[in-house]
Amino acid sequence: MILAHTDATTTPLGLALVLAAALSWGIGNHVAKVSGTRDMLGFVVWASLFSIPPLLIGALIADGPERIAASVSAAGWQTWAAVLWQSVGNTLFGYSAWGWLLSRHPASTVSPLSMLVPVFGMTASALLLAEPLQDWKLLAGALVMGGLALNLLWPQLRRLRGTAA
């Protein structure tokens, strides 16, 4: 659905970065699962330190030190509130809760919930930012929800079918 609705602003690099992000998410989930740690907050804090060097290098290459310094000095309270939300709300709480779920439940039970991220993102952008919610986006959200429902209900349907035979 997304590929059918791309435009001239979609680049091969952008698509490659999205795929690399998905791969990174999967690798991160695996590392969190096999780490065996029960202290997910500590795990997330220490793991986050590994993101600093590549992000700093990428920012320096893309923007340069002068632009970075100018952006930091021009940042208002809204920007710092967004940084605080991203660091505490999303990273510390969100990833710690996700890691906690992965450490206590099978990945096949927890991981399908991540498929709800685009659905919530589209809904939030429509409600909070007045972005248009075209029919194709609604259909894509319905396909995601249908896939999740099938994934969650299929084992029960197979079990019921096996007992009915």
Domain ranges of the chain: 10-104, 107-165
CB-count exposure of residue 92 (10 Å: 0-12, 13-18, 19+): middle
Q: Rounded to an integer, what distance in angstroms lies between the CA atom of residue 150 and that of residue 140?
A: 15
Q: What is the pLDDT of residues 39-87, one digit of tens each?
A: 888 888 888 898 899 999 999 999 999 999 999 999 999 999 999 999 8
Find where tokens 């007045």 sit: 130
Query: Is the model's pTM score more than 0.85?
Result: no
